[in-house]
Chains A and B, each alone.
Chain A
Amino acid sequence: MSSVATSTTPAAAGRSGGLLARLGRINWGRKTVIGIPYVFLVLFFSLPFLVVLKISVSEPDGVGFKDLIDFTDGTLTLRLKLANYQFLGTDPLYLKTYVSSVMYAAGNALICLFIGYPFAYFMTRARPTMRPILVMLVSLPFWTSYLLRIYAWKGLLDDNGVVNNFLLWAHIIDTPVKMMYTSFSMMIGMVYTYLPFMILPLYGTLVKADPRLLEAAGDLGTTPWKAFWLITVPLSKAGIIAGTMLVFIPSVGEYVIPELLGGPQTLMIARILWNEYFQNVDWPMASAVAVIMVVLILLPLVLLNRYQNVEGRAEGAAARRGAAA
């Protein structure tokens, strides 16, 4: 189970022929360890997605779907109904929804970064004995059901809710302010839910920073403000990227928050998918929406992966050059 010498010897390798002998030499332990989770995920993750792909180009036929491949009278016909994709690609509402999902997600990530980075930074500046408590206080909302916490905002922002009641009681306003079912309420919900996901990785990176680097900078004549931007921030790049990805990517496909706190103006792609399936019972359309969503998400991920690989390779090459010198 470790990458240790296999049971093949240099002398005997490849010489004994029989199938049984060859079977005996395969590292079964290794294959099982990789195999079990692999098979599970292929079966229950990839295969289902292929089904989605297939249904997205299928023609409904009563309860089921017409076959894609048809072999009659010696002719092989492949029938792919691309009408759904055509529609999604040209319909202004769908295009607008895709764009708006990404915009909301990006906005969420930026706000979380803007609030979360200083938050994490100040956490690291606290006394070492205080820090575990501060981390615990951020973790608590993280572990509490997000559904319940979103529901709390319903109570707060409702026309008859806590905020309005307070403002009325304090005579700051005369009639309730409409805050629910707007972009505002949805964004508050998004930021509220995802803030811990930004703070915790940022804290993890910032707390590992070497304070001596800042001391050296000060020694060389840098003001604390400049040192922050020239040293602290660039070194926390990994944490920033991790936090941003952790917030942005799930936000694009978020369903519950737009549904509970958003309104007809807040177009999010996940709601469209949900409605296509549950309300319109249009499985092919829902599937097509799903496929395009996946493509939209995969593309930035592949780019991010490539960026990380390039960075990793560059760092590796530099390290090797240093070691050889």
Chain B
Amino acid sequence: MSDTTLTGTTASGSETGKDPAPDAPNASGATNAADVEPAADNRARAVKAAPADPQRRSRRLQWVLAGLAILALALFPIYQGGSLLYIGLTCMAAAVGAVGLTLLTGVTGQLSLAHAFFLAIGTYSYAYLSGVPGGQAVQYGGLGLHPVLGAIGGVLLAGLAGLLFSPIASRLRGIYLGVASLSLVLIGQHVLFNWDTVTGGFNGRPAEPFSLVGFEFSNDSPENLFVLNVPFGKNERLWYLFLVLLVLSCLFARNLLRSRPGRALQMVRDREVAASVMGVGVARYKAYAFVLSSLYAGLAGVMLALILRPTPDSFGLVLSISFLAMIVIGGLGSVVGAVIGASFVTALPALFQQYSDVIPFLAQPGSGGLDAATLAKFLYGGAVVFVLLVEPGGLGAVGRRIIGSISGASRLTKRTVKAANPQDSPTTDSLVSQGDKGPEREAPDRASNQSNRDEEHR
């Protein structure tokens, strides 16, 4: 029903001579050609004869929503400051890291618990490369490079660490990789604690503020900066830097997923053997995914260094696990989902903490009651379990379904959601319906005999 009404409005829109939307005319025009008597749509019909699909409309809706979200985020510092702004900054840093992890774990299917380690490399490389020597109890060094160089160095060094780990990563399969990467975090933390000339030891070290062509992302130079009568301090300035970085990261990841290498990565996840038969170098692509994800982690690490004083303690297994939770809650392999999941996992404890005196059942930490941190852990642990068992597509899939039903593409969107999802991909479904859940090593063999077996069963 919504189909026809929507077409009706666009039709009247073009009759009155108004162009509905910059990138719209083709699609709506084609629908007109199919349903309504066209007035001046011959051009559109010539361009595109196929009926306009609701999927296209839902994609357009997605772009509009993304644009609105970015706009809202861009306006945020004008209306809000203080701790909410700071929470937002941590969310954005986490989101960049989560997008990186979802490329590795969600898209390529390589379970990694080492993300915190790569984050730490980004953070401390930045802090060391562009930092200045100092410290009282523990002396730490610094090269004093320009912050831009430091940031680039941080990202690249994290990528290099990923490259160094990738020979191990590409040799190990499935769960062995997950556990091996766990050791990377623990060994890495040991190094961080001990290498105090770089990390400042247990108490950490400060990092220099970022600056770009003379404009410093801190409270001074230029001092007392006002935009629309709002004082723009460190957090407000960083907000826009982070927003740009986040949007760029997301766009890159999204485009990657739709490109040839992106599809190869997904193929590696779904069927390694089939991928190698199709000419995808499995080991090479796994290494590629590892490097890419650690580059993202490095960037997230640099962003973290800009907003807090990094201590080795914070780059432990807990951080790795919360990154895993982020991408699971958002929906494995979904870029937007990773951003949503990151905001959920990062902002929740902080918001609970902030409003702990307003939320009635929250107690002070240590008093034995339910404190904010514990409640947040319950919620995100529970969300992980719930998402994986009930809605494996995560929040991303829920969002897509809502957008789909708004734009009348629910049927189509459901199908795309399904296909985008490792657990529900057609091959897995049919394997399961045959009633055999054999070990992974036999699966490729089965997949190739799929059609025969299906017939035998009937």
Instruction: Determine if chain A interacts with chain B.
Output: no
